[in-house]
Amino acid sequence: MSVESQHPEYRKYLKVWQRIEAAVEGTRAVKSGKTMFLPKPNQDLDGESFYGTPIQSENDVRYKQYLERAVYTNFCGRTLAGLKGAAFRKYPSIYLAPGVEYLEDSATADGTSLVQLAKDAVAEVLKKGRAALLVDYPSVEEGLTAEQVTRLDLKARIAFYTPEAVINWRMQGQNGRSVMTLCVLKEMYNKSQDEFDYDEDVQYRVLRLDEFGYSQQLYRDDKPYTEQFYPRQPNGQTFDYIPLAFMGSTNNDATVDNPPMEALSEVNIAHYRNSADVEENSFIHGQLTLGVTSDLSSEQWQEMNPAGIVVGARAGHFLGSNGGFHSVQANASSLTKDLMTEKEHQLVMIGAQLITDKNSNQTAKAAMIQHASEHSVLADVCNNVSEAMELAIDWCAMFMGAVGENEFEINTQFFDDTVDPQMIIQSIAMYDRELLTSGDVQNYARKAGILPEGRSNDDIDNDMSDVYEAGSDEDEFSQAGVAEAAEEAVQGA
């Protein structure tokens, strides 16, 4: 077995992930894939050669034109941007224990912030249903205290891996739970010795869990490149787990989940293929085909028409006594256009909200119901990423010796709450009858977006106390007066 060996589930999903990635990236990636996404119109003898030199067939020339005319409309990329925007329309809820606050601004080795890392993770899981976070610990001498670690600026960081980079893994049952004992990560590095050159090559980072603890080892050219390295905690002990957290569209176990955007990418690429046929049909059928009949011999024809036939009103041609012109222009078939329209409807049904009819009179509530299935998937993804991010932060805190709770939660309220005027009036009326407290009314107003979230109930009560102490007319601020003023404000809005 080689370090390049791939897990069976990895081999099963690799081409699916590559197709989704290209579909989301857009025209350049899809057209670079050539026959992977757009088959040749005709099969030809591509293997023929002349004295060892391949001959470019007529079909190759036609395919190049066929590929250039095709139009790829990136529904996948636009849908992903919309879903990610819905998830991060509000800033995630973050609380970091003292000692790991640096993660919020610099969570990765290259300085990516915690929120940006979460955005990348949500996008990847939405696309392919899988991603991974690895907590990377710096080398620590045995016996260092937490103060010494801080003074040496030794900080744990989080590394992000796409599903294509996690090529192999092994889970083993220990004490009634599944524990990861092996994981192989595919990475790229610059092997050039020239400071101005970049020569990219592959290396493999092998994570192991054995009787001595958790270790790392790098492989290059299918051979060990470094010694087996055991990261250590500040107290010098090794770790009894591999600090790698999977994120999935269904759950966060090691099993590969179905990619949420698989169906969308398939229809989007099929739409692209239909576009290629539409463009080629329009090009072929849209051109005038000219037929000429004449009783002249070929020699007479060359003599009378030395420049051949030029199509256009400014050229004259001698055709002989029985000659004549016949022009034909075929009508392009509408079948491929109908197929494209049908696929656009399929894209809307699958989840491409950003291509819906702008003239639709659909209400906000109807839109919320229509896209409930897409948002339930998005909610699962956000919750799973939040859980993995929080676990990675906890692992960083363990290395840094940070004590306290950590919290990371991505927003799952994807729509703006609409303000219901009747509910506001009723809540104030119930407060007037002493069935609700002022805090209940304030909380509803905050949820409805009337009050900013940073303005607490105590702030409001203190402000009202200041107004009363200023000697204002008490009747003006009576409960009935507040209710009446609120009702007038809502009706005016």
pLDDT digits over 329-369, tens only?
555 555 566 766 766 766 666 554 433 344 444 444 455 55
Low-confidence ranges of the chain (pLDDT < 50): 45, 47, 49-51, 352-365, 373, 473-479, 481-482, 485, 489, 493
Q: What are the boundaries of each domain within the chain?
A: 288-328, 421-492
Q: 284 vs 62, 65, 69, 332, 336, CA distance in Å?
A: 12, 12, 12, 9, 14
CA distance 417 to 411: 14
Structure tokens belonging to residue 287: 């051109």
- Hey, which residues does 325 pair with through a beta bridge? 292
pLDDT at residue 408, rounded to an integer: 96
pTM for this prediction: 0.74
What is the tens place of the pLDDT at every residue in 199-217? 999 999 999 999 999 999 9
- Contact between 479 and 441 under an 8 Å Cβ cutoff? The reply is no
Neighbours of 229 (CB within 10 A): 13
Query: What does the pLDDT read at residue 293?
Result: 75
